[in-house]
Amino acid sequence: MLSPFPPGWHLLWLGLVLGSVCAALEAAAQANSTTGALNVLLIIVDDLRPSLGCYGDKLVRSPNIDQLASHSLLFQNAFAQQAVCAPSRVSFLTGRRPDTTRLYDFNSYWRVHAGNFSTIPQYFKENGYLTMSVGKVFHPGVSSNHSDDSPYSWSFPPYHPSSEKYENTKTCRGQDGELHANLLCPVDVVDVPEGTLPDKQSTEQAIRLLEKMKTSGSPFFLAVGYHKPHIPFRYPKEFQKLYPLENITLAPDPQVPDGLPPVAYNPWMDIRQREDVQALNISVPYGPIPMDFQRKIRQSYFASVSYLDTQVGHLLSTLDDLQLANNTIIAFTSDHGWALGEHGEWAKYSNFDITTRVPLMFYVPGRTALLPKAGEKLFPYLNPFDSTTELMEPGRQTMDLVELLSLFPTLAALAGLPVPPHCPVPSFHVELCREGQNLLKHFQFQDKEDDSYLHGNPRESIAYSQYPRPADSPQWNSDKPSLKDIKIMGYSIRTIDYRYTIWVGFNPDEFMANFSDIHAGELYFVDSDPLQDHNVYNDSQHGELARSLMP
Is 139 a catalytic site residue?
yes
Q: Dihedral of CA 456/461/467/471: which sign?
A: positive
Distance CA 318, CA 113 (A): 40
Distance CA 196, CA 204 (A): 11
Q: Which of 71, 139, 230, 442 is catalytic?
A: 139
Q: What is the DSSP string of 114-145?
A: T-----HHHHHHHTT-EEEEEESSSPSSGGGT
What letter does residue 446 receive in the DSSP assignment? T
Cα distances (Å, whole numbers) of residue 149 to 88, 142, 510: 15, 10, 26
Q: In 3D, which of 452, 465, 345 has the Cα closest to residue 402?
A: 465
Distance CA 284, CA 489 (A): 22
* Cis ω before 140 (30° cut-off from 0): no
Cα distances (Å, whole numbers) of residue 408 to 139, 194, 463: 17, 36, 16
Number of Cβ within 10 Å of residue 256's Cβ equals 17
User: Do residues 363 and 327 touch, judged by C-beta distance below 8 A?
Assistant: no
Is 180 a catalytic site residue?
no
Distance CA 547, CA 301 (A): 39
Q: How far is CA 159 from the centre of its chain?
A: 18
Please tell me the chain's helix, strand, coil percentages from 3-state DSSP, rounded to the nearest 5: 30, 20, 50
Q: Which of 54, 85, 172, 185 is catalytic?
A: 85
Q: Enumerate the β-bridge partners of residue 357.
A: 79
Cα distances (Å, whole numbers) of residue 79 to 40, 253, 392: 22, 21, 23
Which amino acid does the sequence have at 333? T
Distance CA 162, CA 537 (A): 49
Which are the catalytic amino acids?
85, 139
